[in-house]
Structure 1
Amino acid sequence: MIEIKEKTEKEIIFVTTNKGKIASAQKELENIKVLPIEAELIEPRSDDIREIAKQKVLQAYSIVKQPCIALDSGFFIPALNGFPRAYVNHMLDTIGIEGILKLMDGVENRACEFRSCLAYYDGEEMRLFESKSPGVIAEKSRGSDNENSWSDLWFIFIPRHFRKTMAEFDEEDFLEYNRVKEASGMKKFGEWYSGL
């Protein structure tokens, strides 16, 4: 006789004010229910997204007192010595994507890379899940806002293997992108967490 186990859905608390990140987590964590908690986490001053993610998840845990996740991302442009690194929000608030395009005017090496680090903490164990998405910077801002967008950088970021900015992607492009890119930190976390 085969015993059928009743599968209970796992849950995880995600502390962020970024609705795009929540939508993305709900899509990527297929068998895990994402419980968003809107709270402003203090961003530590650091270039290291791993360190920032760690500090954010510790803050998040102190608020919710339950296992939770926090995410930090950075955008790295080798031709600009890595700028803006972890300071994406500050860069967007000050010079914006038009400022990035100006800085890149006439620059041949347009390589760039999104890096992200998801931190999980349950009061005892901390785990980090990292990923990278290489690409190039477009010559100008292209595309339109969509519900998948979690950064204005999507208007100038052309992922490797593509000729469009992410803001120009349709549903088919997103499916293809998810097929060819490195598994995200969110996906890696989901696989690990589902196995617990």
Structure 2
Amino acid sequence: MYFITSNEGKFREVERIAEMYGIQVKWMKMKYVEPQGNSLEEIAKLSARMLAEKIEGEFVIEDSGLFVEALKGFPGPYSSYVFKTIGNEGILKLMDGVKDRKAYFMAVVAYWDGEKAHVFTGKVDGEIADSARGTKGFGYDPIFLYGDKTFAEMETGEKNKVSHRRRAFEEFFKWLKEKS
């Protein structure tokens, strides 16, 4: 099965999770125009339908976002754009002086079975760190604090045990195993 993403970090994380279920995931490195929407679920379904016009057969995509409670869920479904424009530094600046630093990562997996999209979600609660820490991972990992470490301070295997992406893909892989 193909996992469509331009992000090698995401692919490597998903590849390791898939192996635990005896599923082989192949990387289809592809950038695609991601539609905007008010929810990750909506974006993932729309993306799958758009890609289905170009790709034959089954595939899986994933969309994720960082939701900061003090910022009313921002950047949420706009996480990719916000990261490209203001990055971690911008989020930290927005959080300057804010005491309630609760946040969560959410991942939505959309599996296109050749006819329709099936959606699976995963969520992990944490906080926004006071500063960027760590060199591992990608995206918002250096500012997302889970326990006493940011995701960027964790080894890949440690992060994979708790990540939002793992939780979403586990739901998908369990469903896929039951279906076959």
Q: Deviations over 1:52-73 (max 9, x none)?
A: 1111112222222111111111
- Describe how 1:85-96 pairs up with structure 2 within 5 A: 85-96=76-87
The CA distance in 1 between the partners of 2:103 and 2:79, in whole Å, is 13
- The reply to whether residue 121 of structure 1 matches residue 112 of structure 2 is yes
Post-superposition shift, 1:182?
9.4
**Structure 2 counterpart of 1:72, which letter?**
D
- Aligned to 1:184, the other structure's residue is in SS state helix
- Aligned CA distance change for structure 1 residues 15 and 75 (closer, same or farther; 3 Å): same
The 8 Å contact of residues 105 and 164 in structure 2, kept in 1 or not, is answered as no
Pair 1:63–1:91, CA change in 2 (3 A): same
Paired residue secondary structure (2:27): strand
Q: In structure 2, how many angstroms separate the alpha carbons of the residues matched to 1:38 and 1:115?
A: 22
Give the alignment of 1:74-153 within 5 angstroms: 74-145=65-136, 149=137, 151-153=138-140
The answer to whether the Cα contact below 8 Å between 1:32 and 1:194 also exists between their aligned partners in 2 is no
In the alignment, does 2:165 pair up with 1:178? no
Q: Using a 3 Å threshold, how does the CA distance of structure 1 residues 135 and 17 change in structure 2: closer, same or farther?
A: same
In the alignment, does 2:177 pair up with 1:194?
yes
Post-superposition shift, 1:76?
A: 0.5
Deviations 1:112-164 (A, max 9, x none): 0101110111222421100111100111111113xxx2x321101012xx101
TM-score by length of structure 2 reads 0.90
Aligned length: 177
Partner of 1:155: 142
1:71 partner SS: strand
Higher mean C-alpha displacement, 61-70 vs 182-191: 182-191
**Could you state the TM-score of these two structures normalised by the residue count of structure 1?**
0.83
**More helix by proportion, 1 or 2?**
2
Q: 1:36 to 1:172 in 2, by over 3 A?
A: closer
**Structure showing greater Rg:** 1
> How far, CA to CA, are the matches of 2:81 and 2:162 in structure 1?
31
Distance 1:129 1:79 in 2: 26
Q: Deviations over 1:42-88 (max 9, x none)?
A: 11111210011111112222222111111111111110111111111
Give the Å deviation of 1:25.
1.2
1:19 and 2:8 are equivalent in the alignment: yes
- Percent identity between the two aligned chains: 33
Is residue 70 from structure 1 mapped to residue 58 from structure 2 by the alignment?
no
